[in-house]
């Protein structure tokens, strides 16, 4: 009986070691995944200036707050409000926002012939 008890204790200790190894391996994997994800994120930096929203027109940034909050002012209505910087995109003067106007229909006959 004592021999079987000792054997059972050894099995439990081995099981505990396997669990600890799996936990450590899982933690390492999660850390590597997070490091890769964080490396691939590109943060956009906004400063006080002109912005464009595809729904309502250009805006001007009046203030930049911590954690990605911006205060913007509409050029048309002169209203100011706070938004998250992920909801905005940069405004480039003279660049058309709608690329569909420049789209052309092509057929296979329009392609150059390769000899």
- Nearest CA to 78 out of 95, 59, 103 is that of 59
Q: Is the pTM of this model over 0.75?
A: no
Count up the domains in the chain and report the number. 2
Task: Indicate if 59 and 26 belong to the same structural domain.
Answer: no
* pLDDT tens track for 61-77: 899 888 888 888 888 88
How far is the C-alpha of 97 from the C-alpha of 53, rounded, in Å?
A: 9
26 lies in some domain: yes
- Residues 6 or more apart in contact with residue 84 via CB below 8 angstroms: 68, 69, 70
Residue 37 lies in a domain: yes
Range of the domain at 36: 1-41
Do 1 and 22 fall into the same domain?
yes
Predicted confidence (pLDDT) per residue in 52-108, tens digit: 555 566 788 899 888 888 888 888 888 888 888 877 777 766 655 454 455 555 555
Residue 23 lies in a domain: yes
């Amino acid at each position: 009986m004592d021999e079987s008890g000792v054997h059972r204790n050894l099995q439990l200790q081995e099981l505990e070691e396997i669990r600890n190894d799996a936990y450590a391996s899982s933690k390492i994997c999660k850390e590597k995944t997070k490091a890769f994800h964080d490396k691939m994120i590109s943060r956009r930096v906004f400063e006080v200036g002109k912005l464009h929203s595809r729904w309502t027109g250009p805006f001007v940034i009046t203030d930049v707050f911590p954690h990605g909050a911006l205060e913007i002012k509409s050029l048309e209505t002169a209203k100011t409000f706070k938004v998250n910087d992920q909801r905005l995109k940069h405004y480039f003067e003279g660049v058309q926002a709608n690329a569909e106007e420049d789209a052309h229909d092509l057929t296979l006959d329009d392609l150059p012939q390769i000899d």
